[in-house]
Amino acid sequence: MTEVLSQDEIDQLLSAINAGDADTEQDFKPATDSRKIKIYDFKRPDKFSKEQIRTVQIMHETFARLTTTALSANLRSMVHVHVASVDQLTYEEFIRSIPTPTTLVIINMDPLKGNAIMEIDPTITFSIIDRLFGGTGEGSKTQHELTDIEQSVMEGIIVRILGNMREAWAQVIDLRPRLGQIDTNPQFVQIVPPTEMVVLVTLETKVGEVEGMMNICIPYLTIEPIIPKLSAQFWYATARQGTNIENLNMLKEKLVTVDVNVVAEIGKINIPVRDVLALRIGDMVRLNTVKVGDPFTLNIGGGKKSPGKTKFLCKPGVVGKKMAIQITQKLGDIEATDLEEFGEVGEGLL
């Protein structure tokens, strides 16, 4: 606390200064407070901790890598996306910081309640459109609102980008982001009150020689239910666990639609390469089958690099005008571990 001098003390100091008896630099050195004081603004309270901000950054670094690959493949051009910053601010500050017109995408964050916003810089938007229309990707020098055709083209690109977001968030929640609508005027997009806090992920994007920003704005109200999961402890624990119930369900959901080779094997034999080279039309090769009526073996998942797994016995027949086999005996259960060893996956044939 600053000491208040009386009038007599002030007079004595002035007299000493005039007489040259006082060292002004030593006696009147301004007091410094070594404590670090952090200013807190109650109008915009911090809702996200540094650890949670860091977790959001890690998630979107994965999203940036996936988006780089996806856009490079779609545009047939060099695309680079990386996380520039992750900040928390009010929704009003975010709306004021983006240009007009721009590409604003409202994202439905199922199963979370509420929406998020993806804002794509106009230079990047028109560069993508120009590239898809067969141009060099330079984009348009004059900014304008998207036409119906341009908006339809951007919807296809955005749907692919949202697929990358789902994969990036998979360790925290089974997010199913869906495209709501595309707008161009920030003033008409009000998903939360102006004073509500949001987390803003800024992605530096480069398409060919064109550079710009892509922003993802996620309100606190939207991700509030999963805030406890946005911690390093939960993140790394999930990563070490490897497979949890959500991952297993997602894996099963994808596996049920996968095509695998199903091969009915009449028989087999091992012969030298010289005998194979000597084979001619009309030659007979005796297989390991004992007699004509012996059952065939049905192999699952065979390919060029793997014979597959023998799981059934079967016998040949005809269904309509097509050759077929009838399963007569089950040799073993098909486990999830077998699917990992199936090798190359192709069309199933019966």
- pLDDT top residue among 324 and 238: 324
The answer on pLDDT for 175 being more than 60 is yes
Structure tokens at 70: 């996806």
> What does the pLDDT read at residue 190?
86
Structure tokens at 208: 């060919």
Average pLDDT over residues 278-294: 81
Q: Which of 1-5, 86-90, 199-203, 323-327 has the lowest mean pLDDT?
A: 1-5
> What does the pLDDT read at residue 69?
92
Taking alpha carbons only, the member of 346, 349, 335 closest to residue 265 is: 349
- Give the residue extent of every domain in the chain: 50-245, 258-278+286-340
* 292 within 8 A of 316, measured Cβ to Cβ: no
> What does the pLDDT read at residue 298?
86
Global model pTM greater than 0.85: no
Same fold: 50-245 with 258-278+286-340: no
pLDDT in tens, 110-144: 898 889 999 999 889 998 998 888 888 776 666 77
- pLDDT top residue among 337 and 198: 198
Residues 128, 293: Cα–Cα separation, whole Å? 63
The answer on pLDDT for 342 being more than 50 is no
Average pLDDT over residues 59-79: 90
> What does the pLDDT read at residue 140?
65
Residues 285, 269: Cα–Cα separation, whole Å? 9
Other Cβ atoms less than 10 A from the Cβ of 184: the count is: 18
Question: Does the bond joining 101 to the residue before it have cis omega, within 30 degrees of 0?
Answer: yes
> What does the pLDDT read at residue 347?
36
- pLDDT band of residue 34 (cuts 50, 70, 90) is low
The domain 258-278+286-340 having CATH identifier 2.30.330.10: the answer here is yes
Residues 64, 60: Cα–Cα separation, whole Å? 6
> What does the pLDDT read at residue 344?
39
CA-angle at 302, arms to 296 and 307, nearest 5°: 75
> What does the pLDDT read at residue 48?
81
What separation in angstroms does the CA of 199 have from each of 86, 152, 188, 215?
7, 28, 20, 10
> What does the pLDDT read at residue 4?
59
The answer on pLDDT for 158 being more than 50 is yes
Eight-class DSSP state of 301: S
For 50-245, CATH number out of 3.40.1550.10, 3.40.50.300, 3.40.605.10, 3.60.21.10 equals: 3.40.1550.10
What separation in angstroms does the CA of 82 have from each of 205, 206, 265?
7, 9, 51
> What does the pLDDT read at residue 262?
86
Please list the alpha-helical segments (H only) found in the chain.
7-19, 24-27, 50-75, 91-97, 122-132, 148-168, 220-223, 232-241, 245-255, 273-277, 336-340
Residues 329, 297: Cα–Cα separation, whole Å? 10
The answer on pLDDT for 23 being more than 80 is no
Average pLDDT over residues 69-95: 90
